Amino acid sequence: MPQYVLDHTILNYLISILSESEYQIIGPVHRNNSLFLEPIKDLKQHPAGFRDVQAPGKFSLEKTNSGKLFEFTHGADSWKKFLYPSEKVLFFANKNTEGKLNFHIENSSSKRYAFFGVRSCELSAINIHDEIFINGQFPDHDYAEIRNNCFIIAVNCTVCSDTCFCASMNTGPEVKSGYDIALTEITDGKNPVLIAKPGSEMGKLFLEKLSPAAASDGLIQKCDEEIASVIKRQKRKVNITAVKDLVKANINSVIFDKISEKCMSCTNCTLVCPTCFCSNIEDTTDITGETGFRIRKWDSCFRENFTEIHGGKIRGSIKSRYRQWLSHKLTNWFDQFGSSGCVGCGRCITWCPAGIDITESAEAFEKPESG
């Protein structure tokens, strides 16, 4: 498909015509020195000219005054909070005049989302959830309905944070498929411009409404060069081919003892992870006791009572819970779903208060144990 040149002002027009087509636009906003994914109406809410600074257990934003729209990567939020909400009423029940229970299934969501600014690693995470919730053994019809109504405006990364390692996971920095429009931000002379590539017929239709100019071969080549430079700048990596077998073969390794000494089992890593989907089912009533609700809520395998059954807790120690999480992400996920459960976004590194680094944990299995 052809590629086009867009300036920043035209993007506001794209947002407006998507809104007119009854899409709710979701994009990154800047608040409290962090980034959040929230409904937006125009680019005034977008954190243009900000760069994220990420490190183990640290996140901040710096003003650059560059005028660039996408000089940051991402915050703690991921798109799963819209596709797979943190809390959902599955059904409710109340008594009729005869004292019998009537059950009511919550209607599927009719929301039409347009996700603005989806990174390649994040799109890979969405694709993983598609395999689980749409193509899996037990489809989630609510997820499928929301997902099938999504319009995705992806962004190729021309920057990376210190905690990114998508290149080694083959999930970035370039988006390959699954998008409607892909944007790459480069500098043409002194001004930042966007090169837009449609990834679907609908994406092409919306781009043509903007009457954009065609991108030159030189600009397209510059996009490729900027994306390639990100791969070289990423310091962290996971040798996924080796580690998936090494972790399985060393499930009782002392490496897990050493890591668990730092882990606080706070659940941050699973909450910010774009692929984690553990949940719990709760039954509750309203204040009158007349109506009962069955609610699905996000949960975490790091929570002490997550595996509690009538005979006790299956994973009562922090070591056992960290081992479960790491081995599931890097090893057992392949057996279940045919891919890694990690997309290399680095969120678990940044938002871990103890600064535990999954890439260092994985690398430890490639080295002879000491001690």
Among all chains, which residue has been given the structure tokens 């037990």? Answer: 138
Q: Is the pLDDT of residue 371 over 50?
A: no
- Residue 66 has a pLDDT of 86
Q: Is the pLDDT of residue 190 over 80?
A: no
Beta-bridge mates of residue 312: 309
What are 6's two structure tokens? 């867009």
Among all chains, which residue has been given the structure tokens 């996000």? Answer: 298
Tell me how far CA of residue 308 lies from CA of 53, 271, 281, 302, in angstroms: 39, 20, 14, 12
What are 10's two structure tokens? 């035209």
- Residue 111 has a pLDDT of 83
Reported as a pLDDT band with limits 50, 70 and 90, residue 280 is very high
Give the C-alpha separation, 70 to 52, whole Å: 10
Q: Is the pLDDT of residue 65 over 90?
A: no
Nearest C-alpha neighbor of 294 from the set 279, 306, 278: 279
- Residues 209, 263 contacting (CB under 8 angstroms): no
Q: Is the pLDDT of residue 18 over 90?
A: yes
Cβ-proximal residues to 87 (8 Å cutoff; 6+ apart), any chain = 295, 296, 297, 298
Give the C-alpha separation, 35 to 148, whole Å: 26
SS3 assignment, position 289: coil
- Residues 42, 27 contacting (CB under 8 angstroms): no
At position 284, the amino acid (one-letter code) is T
Q: Structure pTM?
A: 0.93
Q: Is the pLDDT of residue 108 over 90?
A: no
Q: Is the pLDDT of residue 109 over 70?
A: no
Reported as a pLDDT band with limits 50, 70 and 90, residue 370 is very low
Domains of the chain, by residue range, sit at 4-84+110-233, 240-278+300-364
Give the C-alpha separation, 184 to 118, whole Å: 12
Reported as a pLDDT band with limits 50, 70 and 90, residue 366 is confident
- Residue 311 has a pLDDT of 82
What are phi and psi for residue 166, nearest 5 degrees? -65, -30
- Residue 191 has a pLDDT of 82
Nearest C-alpha neighbor of 210 from the set 1, 18, 28: 18
What are 85's two structure tokens? 């909400």
pLDDT tens digits for range 133-185: 999 889 999 999 999 999 999 999 999 999 999 999 999 999 999 999 999 99
Q: What is the mean pLDDT of residues 334-348?
A: 95
Q: Rounded mean pLDDT of the chain?
A: 93
